[in-house]
A and B are shown apart, each in its own frame.
Chain A
Amino acid sequence: MGAAIKRKAPAKPAPNDAPPFKKVLIANRGEIALRVILACKEMGVQTVAVYSEADRNALHVRFADEEVCIGPPPSGKSYLNIPQVIAAAEVTGAEAIHPGYGFLSENPHFVEVCQACGITFIGPSAEIIRKMGNKSQAKATMLAAGVPLMPGSDGIIETVEEALVVAEQIGYPVIVKASSGGGGRGMRICNNPEELPDLYNNARSEAKGAFGDDSVYMEKYLLEPRHIEVQIMGDQHGNVVHLGERECSIQRRHQKLIEESPSAVLDPALRQRICDTAVMAAKAVGYYNAGTIEFLLDKRGDFFFMEMNTRVQVEHPVTELVTGIDIVKEQLRIAAGQKLSFRQEDVVQKGHAIECRINAEDPFKFTPSPGRITALHFPGGPGIRVDTAMHQDAVIPPHYDSMVAKLIAYGSDRAEAIARMRRALDTLVIEGIKTTAPLHRRIMDHPDFIAGTFSTKWMETFMEELKRNPAGDPR
Chain B
Amino acid sequence: MSTPRKKPAVAKPAPKKPQATSKAAATTPLGLEDIKALIALAGREPFQEFEFEAGDMRFRIRKDGPPPVYQAPAPAPAPMMVVAPAAQPAPAAPAAPAPAVVAAEDPAIHYVTSPIVGTFYRSSNPTAPPYVSSGDFVRPGQTLCIIEAMKLMNEIESDVAGEVIKVLVENGTPVEYGERLYAVRIG
Residues on A facing B (Cβ under 8 Å): 48, 53, 56, 61-62, 65-72, 78, 83-84, 86-88, 90-93, 117
Contacts and interface: CB of A to CB of B under 8 A. Distances in A.
Which among B83, B117, B118, B175 has the highest number of chain A CB atoms within 10 Å?
B117
A90 B150 contact: yes
Given A56-B86, A87-B118, A92 B179 contact: no
Interface string B137-149: 0000000000001
A70 B83 contact: no
Given A56-B83, A83-B150, A87-B150, A70 B118 contact: no
25 contacts: A48-B4, A53-B178, A56-B83, A56-B86, A65-B6, A66-B7, A67-B3, A68-B117, A69-B2, A69-B117, A69-B177, A69-B179, A70-B117, A71-B177, A72-B178, A83-B149, A84-B149, A87-B117, A87-B149, A87-B150, A88-B176, A90-B119, A91-B3, A91-B118, A93-B4
A90 B149 contact: yes
Interface in B116-166: 116-119, 149-150
Contacts, number: 69
A65 B117 contact: no
A56 B83 CA distance: 8
Contact of B4 (A70, A86, A91, A117): A91
A84 B177 contact: yes
Nearest to B179: A69
In order of increasing CB-CB distance, the 10 nearest A-B pairs are A91-B174, A87-B149, A87-B117, A69-B176, A69-B177, A92-B4, A66-B4, A68-B176, A88-B117, A87-B118
Interface residues of B, number: 22
Nearest to B86: A56
B5 interface: yes
Given A87-B150, A90-B149, 17 more contacts: A53-B178, A65-B6, A66-B5, A68-B3, A68-B117, A68-B177, A69-B178, A83-B116, A83-B149, A84-B116, A84-B117, A87-B116, A87-B149, A88-B117, A88-B176, A91-B117, A91-B119
A117 B4 CA distance: 19
Contacts of A62: 84
Nearest to A61: B83
Interface of B: 2-7, 10, 83-84, 86, 116-119, 149-150, 174-179
A276 B174 CA distance: 49
A90 B149 CA distance: 8
Nearest to B178: A69
Contacts of B177: 53, 68-72, 78, 84
B10 A70 contact: no
A66 B5 CA distance: 6
B13 to A, nearest CB: 14
B174 A92 contact: yes
A66 B134 CA distance: 30
